[in-house]
Structure 1
Amino acid sequence: MQYKTSTGDEKQFRWSNECEPHKMRTREIINDHPEIRGLIGRNPYTFLVILLCIAVQIGLAIALKDAAWWLVVLAAYCIGAFACHTLFVCIHECAHNLLFKKRILNTLAGILANFPLVFPSSVSFQKYHLKHHAFQGVEAMDADMPFRWEAKLIDNSALGKAIWLLFYPIFQVMRPFRLTKEISLFDEWTVVNWVTQVAFMGGIIYFFGMHAATYLIASFFFSIGLHPLGARWIQEHFLTHGDEQETKSYYGRLNKVNLNVGYHNEHHDFPSIPWNKLPQIKKMASKHYDNLGYHTSYTALLFRFLFDKNLSVYSRTARTNRGKQKKETANISSKAIVNAGQAVL
C-alpha cells in the first residue's frame, strides 16, 4: 500500500520525520560536480515561447468561434492542452525568476502567460510554489499537498480519481486557504493579475463569442486535468514505485513540448537552473539520478493511477517538522550554490 493505516481502516498519507530529500542531494552533487554551478542563470528566450503559445491559443480561439462544439473540444484536447501546459511551465519559470534579472519583469511575464489560461493564477502560484520547494510535504506550508478530506473523499476508486483529475484546478484553488496564516491571499500584484485576466477574458467573449471562450476553458481544464498531461501531477510527488521516493522525474518525449518540466528531481535539486539546462544536470551527475525511480509515459501513468487500487490521493509523503526543514536548508555546505540560487530566486 502507498498509504498507511493507523487505527482500523483509517487511511493516511505516508508520514515522515525526515527532511525532504533534495537539500541533501544538492550538497552531495555540488561536492562531486562543482561545475554544475555554471548552469545557474536565466533564459530570456522563454519569453518568446510565451508569445508563441499565446498566439496559438488566441489564433485558434478566433478560428473556432463559429465551429461545431465537438470540433472546439477536439482542438482543445489535441492542441490547446499542450499550449496551455507549456504556458504553465513558463509561469513556473517566472516564479523562479528564470527569465529576467528583475523580479518585476518575471512577474509581468507570468501575468502575460496567464492570459490564455482563463483564470488568474500566476501571481498566487509564484507565492505558493516557492513555499513548496522550501517545505515539501508540510501541510501548513505546501499548497501542493492535498487536503486530508480531499484524499478521504476521492480515496482509490477509478471514478473518484477521474473526477479529481477533471476538476483538479478547483481542488488547487481551495488549498491556499490552508496557508493563510503564513501567506496573504491578496496583494497588489494579485489584484493586477485578476483585473488584467478579467479584462482579457471579457474581451475574448465580447469580440469573438462563447465558442472562443469555450475553447480556452476546455484547453485549460484538459491541460492539467483528465488528459495524459494531467499525469504530471501524479509523476512529480506521488509514491508510484512501491517505495519511499517522494519526487520522481519523467524522461519521455513530451519533455520536448513541455520545456523539460519532467526533470523534476533535477529541478528540485537545483531550482536556480532554467528548463533548457535541466538535462545537463542529469548528464553531469548521472550516478545520483540513475538509481532513482522515474516515468517514461504519461499515458501509462494516467491509466495506472486511475485503475491501480494501491494508488490514491493518499499516496503522498507528508511531514510536520518545519524547523528541521529550515535547519537543513541553512546547513547546505556550498555557499556558492546558495548565494547564486538566492540571486536567481
Structure 2
Amino acid sequence: MTHIEKQTLRDLHRPGWRGTWFVLGFGSLFYGLVAATAYCLSAQLYWALVPLIVANTLLSHSLVIAFHEAAHGSLCPWRPLNEYLGRVIGLQAFNSLTLYRELHHWHHAHLGTPRDEEFWPFTDPAQPRWKRRLAAVGELLFGTLYTPVLYLRALVRSDSRIRVGRSRRLMIWAEVLAPFVVWGGVAGVALWYGVFAYFFLGYLLPAYLAGNIQSWRKYIEHIGLTGDSWATLTRAIRPPGWHGHVMSESVLHEPYHDLHHRYPKIPYESLPAAAKVDPPRSDDVPVFPSYRAALVDLLRDLGDPKFGPAWREENVPMPVVHAEIA
C-alpha cells in the first residue's frame, strides 16, 4: 500500500455528522408514518395500511443498522450524542447498546470462530445440525425477540467472556429491561383504552418485520462461509447503478460489509470511497450485484447452517470409532 493510500484511509476514518442527520431524518419520518397509520386506521382507509407498514418496516431496519454504527462509535463525532442516539434506537429495537458493543467486539476480533457469539451455534462444530437448524428458524422468523435472548445467553452463562465492572453490568441490565418495561407499559395502556390495533400496526408489526429483515441480512452476509479471512468470511455486495447506490445509502452502505470488517472504524458514509481504494478481490469470494443474488447463494447452505474456518474439512474433528474386540 502506498503512502497516498494510507493518507486517504486516515482521512476516511474521520467521522462526520451524516449519520446523525440520517437518524434524525429517518426517525422523524418513522413517527410521522406511525401517525399516518393511526389516521388511516381511524378513517378506515385500509388500502393505505400495507404501504405504510412496509415503509415503516424498512425505516425500522435502517435505524437498527444505525444502532450498529453507534456501537462502533461512528454514528456521531460527539460521543455523548452518539451514545444517546444508540440507546434511544436500542430502546425501540429491544437491544442493549452496551451489551451489543461487548459482543460485537468479539465478532470483529474473532470472526467466525467459536468466540464469535453473535453467530452461536453456527460457529461451533460441536453443535448438532438439528440445533443449528432450530436456531436459524428462531432467528429468521422471530429475530426481534431471538436476538436479545442470544445476547443474554452470552452474558449470563457460567463461562461468559463478557468481563465488565459493576457499573457497566448495571447499565446492561437497565438497557435490557427498559424496552420491556416501556413498551409493555405502552401496550397495557393501549389495551386499557381499546386502541391496541393502532399500537400493533404502527409499531409492533413493523418492529417484528424489521427484526426478521435484520436477521436475513445478517445471514446473507456471513452464514455458509468457511474461509479464514475477512474477505472469505463476508459476502461482498456491490449493487450497480444509481438505484443501487440509493438502496445502499438507505441501509447505511451495509452492502460494503466486507470492507467494514477490514476497516471497522471507517464511518458508513466513507465506505464507498474506501471501496475505490481497496476493491473486493473476486478471487477470494464472489462479488454479488444485489442482496437477492447473495440470498440465492445463502439458500444453498441454509439446510446445514454453519459459519467459520472451524467447519473446513481439514479442521472438523473426525468422529471416534471404537472397534469391537473379537
TM-score, normalised relative to structure 2: 0.71
- Which residue among 90, 98, 108 is the counterpart of 2:66? 90
Q: Which is bigger in relative contact order (C-alpha 8 A, separation at least 6)?
A: 1
Contact 1:141 1:179 in 2 (8 A): no
- Which residue among 59, 62, 75 is the counterpart of 2:35? 62
How far apart, in 2, do the equivalents of 1:190 and 1:72 lie?
Answer: 39
| Cα distance, 1:31 vs structure 2 | 7.6
How far apart, in 2, do the equivalents of 1:75 and 1:313 lie?
Answer: 35
Question: Are residues 313 and 77 of structure 1, via their aligned partners in 2, closer, same or farther at CA, if it must alter by over 3 Å?
Answer: farther
TM-score, normalised relative to structure 1: 0.68
| Cα distance, 1:174 vs structure 2 | 3.1
Where structure 2 has 5 or more consecutive residues not aligned to the other structure, the ranges are 312-326
Please list the CA deviations of residues 172-231 of structure 1 after superposition, one character each: whole Å capped at 9, or x if unmatched: 333331454211697233244346535653575447932333232221222231x5x654
How far apart, in 2, do the equivalents of 1:312 and 1:259 lie?
Answer: 30
- Which residue among 256, 277, 281 is the counterpart of 2:270? 277
How far apart, in 2, do the equivalents of 1:131 and 1:219 lie?
Answer: 29
How far apart, in 1, do the equivalents of 2:170 and 2:14 lie?
Answer: 28
Mean CA deviation greater in 167-176 or 92-101: 167-176
Matched, 1:316 2:318: no
Contact 1:235 1:248 in 2 (8 A): yes
Matched, 1:127 2:109: no
Q: 1:174-253, aligned counterparts within 5 Å?
A: 174-176=149-151, 177-178=153-154, 180=156, 181-183=160-162, 187-194=169-176, 197-198=179-180, 200-201=182-183, 204-205=186-187, 206=189, 209-215=195-201, 216-225=203-212, 227=213, 230-239=215-224, 245-252=232-239, 253=244
Aligned counterpart, 1:289: 281
How far apart, in 2, do the equivalents of 1:76 and 1:139 lie?
Answer: 41
Contact 1:248 1:265 in 2 (8 A): yes
Question: Are residues 179 and 54 of structure 1, via their aligned partners in 2, closer, same or farther at CA, if it must alter by over 3 Å?
Answer: same
How far apart, in 1, do the equivalents of 2:32 and 2:186 lie?
Answer: 11
Instruction: Name the SS for the 1:113 alignment partner.
Output: helix
Contact 2:227 2:308 in 1 (8 A): no
Contact 1:282 1:289 in 2 (8 A): no
Contact 2:252 2:269 in 1 (8 A): yes
Question: Are residues 294 and 219 of structure 1, via their aligned partners in 2, closer, same or farther at CA, if it must alter by over 3 Å?
Answer: farther
Aligned counterpart, 1:43: 16
Larger radius of gyration: 2
Where structure 1 has 5 or more consecutive residues not aligned to the other structure, the ranges are 1-28, 321-345
Please list the CA deviations of residues 241-264 of structure 1 after superposition, one character each: whole Å capped at 9, or x if unmatched: x97721122222221210101111
Whichever residue aligns with residue 237 of structure 1, its letter is H
Question: Are residues 217 and 249 of structure 1, via their aligned partners in 2, closer, same or farther at CA, if it must alter by over 3 Å?
Answer: farther
Whichever residue aligns with residue 212 of structure 1, its letter is Y
Aligned residue-pair number? 282
| Cα distance, 1:313 vs structure 2 | 5.0
How far apart, in 1, do the equivalents of 2:200 and 2:119 lie?
Answer: 27
Please list the CA deviations of residues 43-66 of structure 1 after superposition, one character each: whole Å capped at 9, or x if unmatched: 223122112222222222232236
Aligned counterpart, 1:152: 130
Question: Are residues 131 and 70 of structure 1, via their aligned partners in 2, closer, same or farther at CA, if it must alter by over 3 Å?
Answer: farther
Aligned counterpart, 2:292: 299
Contact 1:235 1:249 in 2 (8 A): no
How far apart, in 1, do the equivalents of 2:220 and 2:115 lie?
Answer: 22
Contact 2:37 2:49 in 1 (8 A): no
Contact 1:249 1:264 in 2 (8 A): yes
Contact 2:235 2:294 in 1 (8 A): no
Contact 1:232 1:262 in 2 (8 A): no
How far apart, in 2, do the equivalents of 1:30 and 1:278 lie?
Answer: 19
Question: Are residues 162 and 198 of structure 1, via their aligned partners in 2, closer, same or farther at CA, if it must alter by over 3 Å?
Answer: closer
Mean CA deviation greater in 102-111 or 192-201: 192-201
Mean CA deviation greater in 69-78 or 165-174: 69-78
> RMSD over aligned Cα, in angstroms?
3.6
Matched, 1:33 2:5: yes
Contact 2:60 2:210 in 1 (8 A): yes
Residue identity over aligned pairs, in percent, reads: 19
How far apart, in 2, do the equivalents of 1:120 and 1:69 lie?
Answer: 33
Contact 2:112 2:309 in 1 (8 A): yes
How far apart, in 1, do the equivalents of 2:108 and 2:137 lie?
Answer: 27
Contact 1:133 1:268 in 2 (8 A): yes
Question: Are residues 199 and 230 of structure 1, via their aligned partners in 2, closer, same or farther at CA, if it must alter by over 3 Å?
Answer: closer
Contact 1:201 1:213 in 2 (8 A): no
